[in-house]
Amino acid sequence: MKPTPFLFFAVIILAVSLACNAIAPTEEPPGVGETAERGYALSAPVIAALSQFHADKGFYPDAIAELVPDYIATVPTKNDELDFSYAKTETSYKFSFHYIGPGMNACTYTPEAQWDCSGAH
């Protein structure tokens, strides 16, 4: 059987596609990319406010809303891309943002470990 021009071009296209993905993967790991960068930017004032609150009072707030208005003007709210959460622990706190793309991703900040991101990529 003689190879057809279609088969030849299909093999070439497949090889180029595989090579491009090997050189520049299209999926970003959790915590990397435009959406993650927006999450970090919106989180930065909250993290600074939590640090100042702790320095002033010796403990972290039970709820993030306690930072308003003395430490920050508003807290970041859920939008189409990002969802934020705060949890006070026994001696510290966790502040997180969650986003989709690709897969479900979560980036969590603690004063002890800084940022830790997990999810699918």
**Residue 27 confidence (pLDDT):** 74
**Residue 39 confidence (pLDDT):** 96
**Where exactly are the structural domains of the chain?**
29-119
Output the six-digit token pair for 1. Answer: 């059987």
**Residue 113 confidence (pLDDT):** 97
pTM over 0.85: no
Instruction: Sort strands 104-110 and 114-119 into parallel, antiparallel or unpaired.
Output: antiparallel
**Residue 20 confidence (pLDDT):** 44
User: Which stretches of the chain score pLDDT less than 70?
Assistant: 1-26, 121
Question: Which H/E stretch holds residue 115?
Answer: strand 114-119
